[in-house]
Chain A
């Protein structure tokens, strides 16, 4: 079964540094998403992306965050200047049309 692939599985960075989290969505999917889960908290929506532009974003997704689909296969989340509170598990997801989201296994981001 096709999978959403995320790299790296664990990223450690220092506060103030930029990080890029990478995702390869399922190949025929058209909608792409980022969610995150801070330890002990709920899974939270960050952003959805379709047709090379953001469809919807949450209050969390401020100017420090950006998404990009640089080529036909990758979908990236960039955090420009990381803060301690950005430490979380970040999940990429994709879907085709009106179908449920398929999630990747996540990238654990630790900001020190």
Chain B
């Protein structure tokens, strides 16, 4: 299942700098996109989402950008902190309505170095 793809398995950044995590999708029916963060031995934790009617959504240090024509979204974390070190999953759904399935990417391991 290659509908959602995160091409970078890992990313390493310095504390205080920007982290940019990328995600591509192929299914043009996807209408709602989310980013989840996962620490070892824990379940995924919701970070931020964006509907296809928007191209940007911001929440504190986290901003998600959506380029529908390119079928690409990215998560920006500014400034990055060591506590942000985790696996970040991009996920997509055909609707924002509850009950519909999420399709996940492979995840990107982010390491923020002090």
> Is B truly associated with A?
yes
Which residues of A line the B interface, CB within 8 A?
4, 30-31, 35, 42-45, 48, 50, 55-56, 58, 91, 93, 95-106
> Nearest chain-A residue to B35 (Cβ)?
A100
Q: Name B1-25 residues within 8 Å CB distance of A.
A: 1
* Chain B positions 69 through 107: 1 when the CB is less than 8 Å from some CB of chain A, otherwise 0: 000000000000000000001010000111111111111
* Docked pose: A31 CA to B102 CA in angstroms: 13
B67 at the interface (CB under 8 A from A): no
How close is A105's CB to chain B, nearest CB, in angstroms? 5
> Nearest chain-A residue to B105 (Cβ)?
A42
Inter-chain contacts of B49 with A (CB < 8 A): 100
Q: Are A56's CB and B34's CB within 8 A?
A: no
A42-B106 contact in complex given A91-B44, A103-B45, A105-B41, C-beta closer than 8 Å: yes
| Residue in contact with A45 in the complex, picked from B34, B36, B44, B101, CB distance below 8 Å | B101
* Docked pose: A58 CA to B100 CA in angstroms: 11
Interface size class of B (residues with CB under 8 A): 20 to 34
- Name 20 extra pairs, CB < 8 A, besides A4-B43, A50-B98, A56-B100: A35-B102, A42-B105, A42-B106, A43-B44, A43-B91, A45-B102, A45-B103, A48-B101, A50-B99, A91-B43, A95-B98, A98-B96, A98-B97, A98-B98, A100-B46, A103-B44, A103-B45, A105-B42, A105-B43, A106-B43
Total number of A-B contacts with CB less than 8 angstroms?
55
Q: Are B46's CB and A102's CB within 8 A?
A: yes
* Docked pose: A45 CA to B42 CA in angstroms: 17
* Docked pose: A101 CA to B36 CA in angstroms: 10
Q: Are A42's CB and B44's CB within 8 A?
A: no
> Nearest chain-A residue to B39 (Cβ)?
A105
* Docked pose: A103 CA to B36 CA in angstroms: 10
Q: Are B34's CB and A48's CB within 8 A?
A: no
